[in-house]
């Protein structure tokens, strides 16, 4: 592995007194599974997994912002890097935009306030945490953790393991995964196009729409308090569905099975075994309406 030192170090020192925008241009050789952490006052971060054993951190830090950090080891290929950005105010924060290129198998951790994070091509791990803004992930990360308060999260691809949580932000999944948990308080969850092995889709008041495929032997759970749950299923999919709503309604336009009145005449319940069974779907709602349709 060749150690490459391009223009670097210039910005691996604190820039507390910077009066003008500072260019970030850091290049280091790295191990394929390097760990990179970025945190603080960032408005935009673009993460790209590439097939090189090196890390490139480039971008611009606004006037008055402070950029600090460095590699965990000073000799040899980088095993871990960590950088932190501080901004004096919102205006300075908005100018702080970074692009991070890492070996595809790297693990990237980003924690920012209101930021737009885009990640693509990373097959290692992504741990992304924002308050507002947005997160957009494409590719096939092995492990994906996203936490957001009101920022929207979009995943376009397949994750082996994913945990996505928002408070009010919407979650869009265009893909699938082996073990997924998507949780929101009042955002909407929309999942389509992919195959899910084990999945949990949970909201308090936000609607949940699932138009994906449950893998053979899979187990997927939907849970809401008052949001609606809509499953758009393939005709004759091999599924065992168990749905219940304490006070909400259940409508089945997917098969001919009719829901029955729930406990003590309130709410509704529905049990369906379609095709060879093979995959389990559980739906639980307190007062949200449940609807099964054919896609």
Partner 1 sequence: MMHLTFEEISELAESGAESRHVQECDACRTSLARVRRLLADAHALPREIAAPPEVWDAVRARVMAEKHVRGATRWWHNGWLASAAAVILVLGTATFMTQLSRGKSSKAKAVMVNPSPILGSPALFAVDKNYVVTIRELRETLETQRPNLAPSTIQTVERSLRVIDDAIAEARAALAADPANQALVDILASHYERQVDLLQRATELSPSL
Tell me how far apart the alpha carbons of residues 104 and 214 are, in angstroms, rounded to a whole number.
28
Q: Which is nearer to partner 1, 50 or 286 (CB)?
A: 286
Q: Which is nearer to partner 1, 228 or 244 (CB)?
A: 244
Q: Which two tokens stand for residue 20?
A: 């003008």
Q: What is the DSSP letter of 7?
A: S
Q: Does the protein bind partner 1 through residue 86 (CB under 8 A)?
A: yes
Interface of this chain with partner 1, residues 90 to 109, rule: CB under 8 A: none
Q: Which is nearer to partner 1, 13 or 276 (CB)?
A: 13
Q: Compute the least distance from the CB of residue 247 to partner 1, in Å.
A: 8
162, 181 contact by CB (below 8 A): yes
Q: Does the protein bind partner 1 through residue 202 (CB under 8 A)?
A: yes
Tell me how far apart the alpha carbons of residues 27 and 205 are, in angstroms, rounded to a whole number.
46
Q: Which is nearer to partner 1, 14 or 217 (CB)?
A: 14
Tell me how far apart the alpha carbons of residues 133 and 148 are, in angstroms, rounded to a whole number.
9
Nearest CA-CA partner of 152 in 198, 127, 117 = 117
* Interface pick for partner 1 out of 46, 94, 105, 287 (rule CB under 8 A): 287
Tell me how far apart the alpha carbons of residues 39 and 226 are, in angstroms, rounded to a whole number.
35
Residue 153: its H or E element: strand 152-166
Which of 52-60, 211-219, 232-240, 280-288 is the region at the interface with partner 1 (rule: CB under 8 A)? 280-288
* Interface pick for partner 1 out of 32, 39, 121, 277 (rule CB under 8 A): 39
**x-or-dash pattern for partner 1, window 145-174, by CB under 8 A?**
--x-xx--------------x-xx------
Is residue 264 helix, strand or coil? helix
Dihedral pair phi/psi, residue 159, rounded to 5°: -115, 135
Q: Compute the least distance from the CB of residue 36 to partner 1, in Å.
A: 13
Q: Does the protein bind partner 1 through residue 294 (CB under 8 A)?
A: no
Instruction: Work out the widest C-alpha separation in the chain, in whole angstroms.
Output: 73
Collect all residues with Cβ–Cβ distance below 8 Å to 263 and sequence separation of at least 6.
Answer: none
Tell me how far apart the alpha carbons of residues 140 and 117 are, in angstroms, rounded to a whole number.
16
Q: Does the protein bind partner 1 through residue 185 (CB under 8 A)?
A: yes
Interface of this chain with partner 1, residues 227 to 266, rule: CB under 8 A: 244, 246-247, 263-264
Q: Which is nearer to partner 1, 260 or 276 (CB)?
A: 260
Binding region for partner 1 (CB under 8 A): 13, 39-41, 68, 70, 72-73, 80, 82, 84, 86, 111-114, 131-132, 147, 149-150, 165, 167-168, 183, 185-186, 202, 204-205, 223, 225-226, 244, 246-247, 263-264, 284, 286-287
């Amino acid at each position: 592995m060749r150690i490459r030192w391009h223009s670097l170090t210039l910005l691996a020192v604190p820039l507390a007194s910077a009066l003008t925008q500072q260019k970030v241009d850091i290049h280091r050789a790295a191990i394929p599974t390097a760990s990179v952490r970025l945190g603080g006052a960032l408005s935009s971060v673009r993460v790209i997994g590439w097939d090189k054993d090196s890390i490139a951190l480039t971008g611009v830090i606004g006037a008055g912002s402070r950029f600090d950090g460095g590699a965990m080891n000073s000799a040899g290929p980088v095993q871990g890097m960590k950088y932190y950005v501080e901004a004096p105010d919102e205006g300075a924060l908005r100018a702080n935009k970074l692009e991070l290129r890492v070996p595809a198998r790297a693990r990237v951790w980003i924690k920012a306030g209101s930021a737009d994070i885009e990640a693509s091509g990373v097959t290692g791990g992504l741990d992304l945490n924002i308050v507002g803004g947005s997160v957009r992930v494409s590719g096939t990360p092995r492990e994906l953790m996203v936490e957001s308060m009101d920022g929207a999260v979009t995943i376009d691809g397949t994750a082996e393991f994913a945990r996505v949580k928002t408070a009010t932000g919407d979650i869009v999944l265009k893909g699938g995964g082996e073990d997924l948990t998507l949780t929101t308080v009042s955002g909407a969850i929309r999942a389509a196009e992919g195959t899910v092995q084990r999945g949990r889709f949970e909201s308090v008041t936000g609607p949940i729409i699932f138009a994906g495929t449950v893998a053979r032997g899979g187990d997927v759970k939907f849970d809401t308090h008052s949001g609606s749950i809509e499953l758009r299923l393939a005709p004759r999919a091999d599924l065992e569905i168990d749905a219940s709503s304490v006070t909400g309604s259940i409508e089945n336009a997917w098969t001919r099975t009719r829901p029955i009145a729930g406990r003590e005449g309130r709410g509704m319940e529905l049990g369906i075994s379609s095709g060879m069974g093979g995959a389990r779907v559980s739906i639980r709602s307190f007062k949200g309406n449940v609807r099964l349709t054919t896609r």
